[in-house]
């Protein structure tokens, strides 16, 4: 099988394939940098236009967009505290404070290098581990997946921010939003209030744009004459090769976050957002200076960006081998494979080795291209956004938000919904309620509910099925450790100080 991998290399290095990959990476960065747009939407729009292209050329465009968009989301996250993609939410925690301190250029360079490292690690995982790791995912039943979701929620509530009560309230709000829509099992309407637009639930992009994009824009418009604009000089922009030595201290974070991203990517339904949050929490927990996190710690940017890019190619492991998409983007890519006559599954590797292994090479080259294309674009072009007048910048962002949200389904209802979430986010921000648990609650709420109900149906209503195997028990133990670990640690330190 690995000889097929080498045999596919010459085909990938063809001129048209390479051009497609470059165009895809640049387009992906642009899409990722536009709040409200996403790789899923971009690839969905692209797929119909690839009918006349060679499969490898079409797949190169998709791989490039996916890689580019996952990094592109970090650009507005760092410069404006507006995550361009859902996976870039965790990047705002430290990236934006760095920009405010005049280290925006370094934050973007950390983001692009970390994204490339995560993408390269993910591509190697896809190349070398696809068949055996795909078999491992079969061991995760509904109960294990449910506990993974619970562990993710517990991590964000108790390890992020200083007030677990406010974190819990925020997470509950996110979980509530996740259950809006049609019950996937009974078909009953839940909290739709007779609005047909809510039958399919609330799109996470609408919530993200409203919750994360609108409050900062309101701040921009509230203080139009505030003279804290960040110039190129204040950004600290310098050649990336000069910044590399300062980044080598993140090598442990790069390795750990790559592994987390790959692992989360393999799990069907988890996605880059969960990988970024879990990686950020783990890096902060392992840090010797956790109190500096959230105030401009570059390692936080490295953790989230490495993980959300390590999720990209690995999300295709179950998709290519078993036909199970790990993320929404992977699901769209499966559609792209099908329209080119490629049936995902074990036979794909035998019947179309050049295409499937060439697709893997494209992910690797796309990640490498990020450093060349993403670095120059981010530091030399997109950083200039901060030099625009604040009222103009705020107006442009609002227009982009409205266009982006409206383009999702082509209806004004989504725009009104986005503005409502924006108002809620603004109030929460003023009252110091953490916003990340809302997002994770929305991401993991339906995920946990679906797998919990499926597990109980398999167990005929017997709750002990949730604790019936070793994997579930390990996940339960990790969750308990996350919930009670910080409290026990504080008591231990307090007792030592009192002695």
Given pLDDT bands bounded at 50, 70 and 90, which one contains residue 228?
Answer: very low
DSSP string, 175-204: HHHHT-EE-TTT--EES-TT-GGGTT---H
Burial degree of 245 (CB within 10 A; 0-12, 13-18, 19+): exposed
> Which of the given ranges, 71-75, 142-146, 300-304, 331-335, has the highest pLDDT on average?
300-304
How do residues 193-207 score in pLDDT, each as one tens digit? Answer: 888 888 888 876 677
For residue 453, give the 3-state DSSP assignment.
helix
Instruction: For residue 68, give the H/E element and its range.
Output: helix 55-72
Cα 424 from chain centroid? 22
Which one, of 64, 71, 66, lies nearest residue 113 by Cα? 71
Q: Residue 47 has what pLDDT?
A: 67
Q: Residue 424 has what pLDDT?
A: 92
Instruction: For residue 402, give the H/E element and its range.
Output: helix 390-409
CA 336/CA 318 separation, integer angstroms? 16
CA 203/CA 130 separation, integer angstroms? 30
Q: Is pLDDT of 222 > 70?
A: yes
The region of weakest confidence among 74-83, 292-301, 385-394 is: 385-394
DSSP string, 406-448: HHHHS-HHHHHHHHHHHHHHHHHHHTT--SHHHHHHHHHHHHH
Q: Residue 135 has what pLDDT?
A: 56
Phi first, then psi: give them for residue 14, nearest 5 degrees. -65, 155
314 with 326: CB under 8 angstroms? yes
How do residues 482-497 score in pLDDT, each as one tens digit? Answer: 788 777 777 777 777 6
Q: Residue 233 has what pLDDT?
A: 47
Which one, of 133, 121, 137, 136, lies nearest residue 310 by Cα? 121
Q: Is pLDDT of 2 > 70?
A: no
Q: Is pLDDT of 225 > 50?
A: no
283 with 299: CB under 8 angstroms? yes
Q: What is the mean pLDDT of residues 65-87?
A: 80
Q: Is pLDDT of 75 > 50?
A: yes
How do residues 350-409 score in pLDDT, each as one tens digit? Answer: 777 788 888 888 888 988 888 888 765 555 666 565 566 767 767 777 887 788 778 777
Which one, of 458, 452, 460, 418, lies nearest residue 179 by Cα? 452
Q: What is the mean pLDDT of residues 207-217?
A: 75
CA 436/CA 72 separation, integer angstroms? 20
Q: Residue 214 has what pLDDT?
A: 79
For residue 236, give the 3-state DSSP assignment.
coil
CA 277/CA 283 separation, integer angstroms? 10
How many alpha carbons lie under 13 Å from residue 321 in its C-beta half-sphere? 23
How do residues 319-329 score in pLDDT, each as one tens digit? Answer: 776 665 556 67
Bigger pLDDT: 374 or 415?
415
CA 442/CA 209 separation, integer angstroms? 14
Q: What is the mean pLDDT of residues 22-44?
A: 75
For residue 137, give the 3-state DSSP assignment.
helix
How do residues 435-457 score in pLDDT, each as one tens digit? Answer: 777 877 776 777 788 888 888 88
Rg (CA), the chain: 22
How do residues 259-294 score in pLDDT, each as one tens digit? Answer: 998 888 776 555 677 788 888 888 888 888 878 888
CA 263/CA 281 separation, integer angstroms? 15
Q: Is pLDDT of 433 > 80?
A: yes
C-alpha distance from residue 235 to each of 46, 228, 386 (Å): 35, 12, 10
Percent pLDDT > 90 in the chain is 2
């Amino acid at each position: 099988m690995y000889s097929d991998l080498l045999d596919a290399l010459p085909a990938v290095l063809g001129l048209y394939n390479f051009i497609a990959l470059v165009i895809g990476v640049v387009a992906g960065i642009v899409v990722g940098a536009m709040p409200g747009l996403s790789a899923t939407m971009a690839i969905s729009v692209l797929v119909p236009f690839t009918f006349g292209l060679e499969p490898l050329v079409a797949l190169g465009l998709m791989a490039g967009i996916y890689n580019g968009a996952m990094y592109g989301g970090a650009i507005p996250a760092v410069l404006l505290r507006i995550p361009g993609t859902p996976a870039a939410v965790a990047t705002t925690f430290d990236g934006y404070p760095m920009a405010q301190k005049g280290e925006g250029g370094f934050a973007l360079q950390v983001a692009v290098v970390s994204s490339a490292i995560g993408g390269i690690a993910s591509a190697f995982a896809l190349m070398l581990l696809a068949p055996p790791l795909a078999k491992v995912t079969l061991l995760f039943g509904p109960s294990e997946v449910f506990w993974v979701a619970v562990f993710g929620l517990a991590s964000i509530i108790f390890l992020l921010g200083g007030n677990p009560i406010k974190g819990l309230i925020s997470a509950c709000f996110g979980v509530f939003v996740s259950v809006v829509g049609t019950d996937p099992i009974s078909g009953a309407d839940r909290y739709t209030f007779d609005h047909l637009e809510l039958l399919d639930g609330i799109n996470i992009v609408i919530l993200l744009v409203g919750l994360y994009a609108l409050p900062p824009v309101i701040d921009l418009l509230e203080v139009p004459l505030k003279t804290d604009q960040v110039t190129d000089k204040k950004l600290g922009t310098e050649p990336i090769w000069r910044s590399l030595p300062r980044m080598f201290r993140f090598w442990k974070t790069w390795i750990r976050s790559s592994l987390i991203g790959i692992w989360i990517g393999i799990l069907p339904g988890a996605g880059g957002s969960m990988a970024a949050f879990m990686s950020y929490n783990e890096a902060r927990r392992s840090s010797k200076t956790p109190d500096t996190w959230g105030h401009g710690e570059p390692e936080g940017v490295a953790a989230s960006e490495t993980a959300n890019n390590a999720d990209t190619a690995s999300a295709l492991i179950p998709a290519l081998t078993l036909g199970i998409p790990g993320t929404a983007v992977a699901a769209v890519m499966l559609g792209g494979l099908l329209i080119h006559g490629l049936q995902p599954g074990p036979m794909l590797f035998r019947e179309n080795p050049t295409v499937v292994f060439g697709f893997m090479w494209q992910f690797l080259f796309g990640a490498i291209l990020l450093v060349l294309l993403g670095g120059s674009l981010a530091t030399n072009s997109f950083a200039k956004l901060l030099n625009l007048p604040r009222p103009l910048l705020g107006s442009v962002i609002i227009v982009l938000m409205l266009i982006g949200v409206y383009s999702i389904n082509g209806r004004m209802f989504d725009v009104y919904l986005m503005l409502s979430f924006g108002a809620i986010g603004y109030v929460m921000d003023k009252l110091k309620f953490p916003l990340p648990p809302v997002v994770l609650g929305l991401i993991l709420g339906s995920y946990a509910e679906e797998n919990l109900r499926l597990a109980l149906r398999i167990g005929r209503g017997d709750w002990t099925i949730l604790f019936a195997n070793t994997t579930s028990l390990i996940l339960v133990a990790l969750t308990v450790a996350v919930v009670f670990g910080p409290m026990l640690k504080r008591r231990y330190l307090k007792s030592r100080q009192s002695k």
